[in-house]
Chain A
Amino acid sequence: MFGMNTDVQAMIPMFVAVPLGMSLLIQLVARHRQVLAETLNIAAMMALVVMSWSTIGGEGIYHLGGWPTPVGIDMRMDALTTLLLLVVSIVGFAVSVYAVDYMRRFTSTSHFYSLFMLMVTGMNGVILAGDLFNLYVFLEVAAIASYSLVAFGCAHEELEASFKYIVLGSLSSALILTGVALVYGITGTLNLGHIAERIAESGMDEPLLLAFGLFIVGFGFKSALVPFHAWLPDAHPSAPAPVSAMLSGVLIKAIGIYVLARLAFNVFGISESALEMLRWLGVLSMVVGGLLAVGQKDIKRLFAFSSISQVGFMVLGLGLGSPLGMVGALYHLVNHSMFKSLLFLNAGAVEYTTGTRDLNQLGGLNGRMPVTGATSLIGSMSIAGLPPFNGFWSKLIIVLACIEGGYYMLATVAVLVSIITLAYQLKVQRMAFFAALPEALKNLRREPPMMSLAMILLAVGCVALSLLMFSGLRDPWLIGTAQQVLSAGAFGG
């Protein structure tokens, strides 16, 4: 009936129900049993990995409660959804494994795991939402969970960062909600497919343009594009390392870039002026984020600025509006979620063993923490775009797409920002991992086993993702998905 078999279809609501149920179960049965909470968290993430793997190739609309489309709540799955679900669950799984060792230093870790599961619930909900209002609700679930997670350390710095994040996050949510109200008032429906049909029939008028602008600003905040990026360099470094990895690796994409791409290409229908705006936002983020990252001394803050810069690459790829640009953007999105979460986990391991994030006080860690050193080298080389690693291919595709579209200046800027990326990553490598070991750090212990395991997992992911360049994997995963996003008619209700 919906072009997919019932097993896959029955699984769609479970992507929201499983993490939500697990977050409640942890509070009920594992509040004071740390090991049980850890086990339940890892089990849920593993279930999500298996579930998202088994939905590959499935697409269709799920009617919650069996109610038909305008009455009930729709959940929608297609190739882009599956790609995002896989990214969320794989990174989330590695992060949950990592958290077992890392979170031992905190009190009431069961709250951490509950909030973590709630954040995953929100992200999966946003990815699968079939209508604007449910998208907004799940967005808030993910955002509010992340506000609490940023403040989890409860020290001065964390609370200040979280407060800044809450203020700017609420502002952007308010803009998004205004946009939702405008769209509902004009088109008379909240269903994404129906909105797309109405807009295709009647065209964009001024109020709809205003709503689209509100969405670009609102989701620009959520994905930390440059004029709207002020919260990210505070929020992402202050959170515990597993949370930083989730925020930078997945959250800004699942509730930012993904929704931006979905709304711009599938719902509102992209226009040349909108593409130009996306290109400007992308280039601005790339350059400003990259330049600000170079000067940072705090290792996690440097990675946070680097996230802004890399998000710029993705938005630039989207803004090119060509199939090649879309392939590059999606590929870079998947790659960035791997290497940025890896780098944040590395930074967490460094902070865990040395007690500092200040690059000036670090050095020579390669000898003491071989796993962190090796995996961070892979992560750095991937993000800087060196040939055998995944980051090279996605950046290459974005640069080629710029040239293909005739934007030679943008291609030059992209290459230059790549070099800046290499510069600040080499700075991290040199100051933290290669130089002489300071006297204060002579008695370092190695990183704990579960943390090493998670970092190795993500490093393998970084290398393995370059396999997506081979046509057997590239055609279904990247090109098929990009074509689906770009074909406007694919989203009819």
Chain B
Amino acid sequence: MSAPPRRLRDRGTGMSMTVKTVMRWLKGPILLFGIYMVLYGHITPGGGFGGGVVIASAFVLITLAAGQKEGLRIFPLGMASRLDSAGLLLFLVIGWLGTWWAGGYFFENYIPTAETARFSLFSGGIIPLGNLVLGLKVASALFLVFTVLTAFHITDELLGETEVQQRQEDKS
């Protein structure tokens, strides 16, 4: 029996082998579906937010199945936080270009939306661009929210004396 490839290495954390295997099969299609939802957001149901949520759920699935260490190795916190800020900043810049470059309104659709290109991927003016950066933002923000909510646990320093006593009584 040959050694498993690096991607499939079991690091001894997370859930059982079954869950991890299913996760390995599912993470690709989920990610792909999220990206599809973001890219086609202007012509089919979906968009930056929905697609971003699906993308984030792929990373949440990895974290749940393989443990937090593995999740944060694939999507480090610093990168998630930077992408989160950069996504929204780019969205603002896209809107601002409408007043500055195109000389119209904030968030005006200044890229021509040709009649012939209707329902094709490259249509919709700034909407797909906005979807793209919002997808980036939502995916990283939701992953951050999930990680931060699961990363911390209550320590005794945060509690008052009575609560600490209560916790010790509960343990014993």
Chain B residues with Cβ below 8 Å from A24 are: 85-86, 88-89, 92
Q: Which of B82, B85, B106 has a CB less than 8 Å from the CB of A64?
A: B106
Chain A residues with Cβ below 8 Å from B36 are: none
Knowing A63-B105, A64-B106, A65-B107, say if A28 contacts B86 (CB, 8 Å).
yes
Q: How many residues of B contact A (CB 8 A)?
A: 21
The 6 closest A-B pairs by CB, nearest first: A13-B106, A66-B105, A65-B107, A27-B85, A24-B85, A24-B89
Closest residue of A by beta carbon distance from B160: A156
Q: How far is the CA of A351 from the CA of B98 in the complex (A)?
A: 47
Beyond A10-B106, A21-B92, list 11 extra A-B contacts (CB 8 Å). Answer: A17-B106, A24-B88, A27-B85, A28-B85, A28-B86, A62-B106, A65-B98, A65-B105, A66-B105, A156-B159, A156-B160
Chain B residues with Cβ below 8 Å from A64 are: 105-107
Number of A-B contacts (CB under 8 A): 49
Chain A residues with Cβ below 8 Å from B113 are: none
Chain A residues with Cβ below 8 Å from B158 are: 156, 159
CB distance from A65 to the nearest CB of B (A): 4
Chain B residues with Cβ below 8 Å from A13 are: 95, 99, 106-107
Per-residue contact bits, chain B 35-57, to A (CB 8 Å; 1 contact, 0 not): 00000000000000000000000
Closest residue of B by beta carbon distance from A114: B85
Chain B residues with Cβ below 8 Å from A27 are: 81-82, 85
Q: How many residues of A contact B (CB 8 A)?
A: 17
A-B contact pairs, 27 of them (CB 8 A): A13-B95, A13-B99, A13-B106, A13-B107, A17-B92, A17-B95, A17-B96, A20-B88, A21-B92, A24-B86, A24-B89, A25-B85, A25-B89, A27-B81, A27-B82, A27-B85, A28-B89, A62-B105, A62-B106, A65-B98, A65-B106, A65-B109, A66-B105, A156-B158, A156-B159, A156-B160, A159-B158
Q: Is B104 an interface residue (CB 8 A)?
A: yes
Per-residue contact bits, chain A 7-44, to B (CB 8 Å; 1 contact, 0 not): 00010011001001100110110000000000000000
Q: Is B108 an interface residue (CB 8 A)?
A: yes
Main secondary structure of the interface of B (DSSP, over half): helix
Per-residue contact bits, chain B 148-172, to A (CB 8 Å; 1 contact, 0 not): 0000000000111000000000000
CB distance from B127 to the nearest CB of A (A): 11
CB distance from B164 to the nearest CB of A (A): 11
Question: Judging by beta carbons under 8 Å apart, are A28 and B108 in contact?
Answer: no
Chain A residues with Cβ below 8 Å from B81 are: 27
Closest residue of A by beta carbon distance from B163: A156
CB distance from B93 to the nearest CB of A (A): 8
Closest residue of A by beta carbon distance from B88: A24
CB distance from A46 to the nearest CB of B (A): 19
Q: How far is the CA of A27 from the CA of B107 in the complex (A)?
A: 23
Question: Judging by beta carbons under 8 Å apart, are B89 and A21 in contact?
Answer: yes
Q: How far is the CA of A63 from the CA of B159 in the complex (A)?
A: 50
Chain A residues with Cβ below 8 Å from B105 are: 62-66
Closest residue of A by beta carbon distance from B99: A10
CB distance from B41 to the nearest CB of A (A): 17
CB distance from B95 to the nearest CB of A (A): 7
Q: How far is the CA of A65 from the CA of B126 in the complex (A)?
A: 11
CB distance from B86 to the nearest CB of A (A): 6
Chain B residues with Cβ below 8 Å from A156 are: 158-160
Question: Judging by beta carbons under 8 Å apart, are B104 and A66 in contact?
Answer: yes
Q: Please provide the chain A residues from 378 to 410 with a CB less than 8 Å away from any CB of chain B in the complex.
A: none
Closest residue of B by beta carbon distance from A63: B105
Per-residue contact bits, chain A 139-182, to B (CB 8 Å; 1 contact, 0 not): 00000000000000000100100000000000000000000000
Most A CB atoms within 10 A — which of B85, B93, B95, B106?
B106
Closest residue of B by beta carbon distance from A26: B85
Q: Please provide the chain A residues from 175 to 207 with a CB less than 8 Å away from any CB of chain B in the complex.
A: none
Q: How far is the CA of A302 from the CA of B132 in the complex (A)?
A: 50
Q: How far is the CA of A24 from the CA of B92 in the complex (A)?
A: 10
